[in-house]
Amino acid sequence: MKKEFILYPIVGLLSLLFMYAAIAKTMDYGFFVSEMSKSPLLMKYDKQWLAPGVLGVEFLIVALLSFAGTRQSGLFLSFFVMLLFTLYLSTLYFFYTNIPCSCGGILGKMSYPTHIIFNAVFTLLAAAGVMLYKTNNAK
């Protein structure tokens, strides 16, 4: 079976996830920044830079995944960001009691265990995409 039949759906799912997350946060930007401000792990960071930075990275991932020449970078960045988000959520869930969620839309409605599993699955998908892309283009 050709690796593209697995790689393209992975790229599509990652693009959809990051586009949805970025748009949902942008549409309710005030809530996004407010919830981010309540996070015990992010309190010391300036939200005026962090919030747009998060959105910028999410939109950047979508752009990178959209073009063949930048797809590998998009897959690497997707993996790194999903791993970071998964570790962030896991740390909040296991070590803190007051755990706000700044994710927008449906993602923000998930329970923390469900959200952690969801993120872990997408982290694994991104890792698989990186590996498939490398082996597919190693010729």
Burial of 100 (0-12, 13-18, 19+ CB in 10 A): middle
What confidence score (pLDDT) does residue 2 get?
77
Q: What is the pTM of this model?
A: 0.91
Per-residue pLDDT of the chain (139 residues), as tens digits, is 577 789 999 999 999 999 999 999 999 999 999 989 889 998 888 888 999 999 999 999 999 999 999 999 999 999 999 999 999 999 999 998 877 788 878 888 898 999 999 999 999 999 999 999 877 665 5
Domain that holds residue 39: 4-136
What confidence score (pLDDT) does residue 102 get?
82
End-to-end, the C-alpha distance of the chain in Å comes to 17
- The number of distinct structural domains making up the chain is 1
Rounded distance between C-alpha atoms, residue 14 and residue 129, angstroms: 10
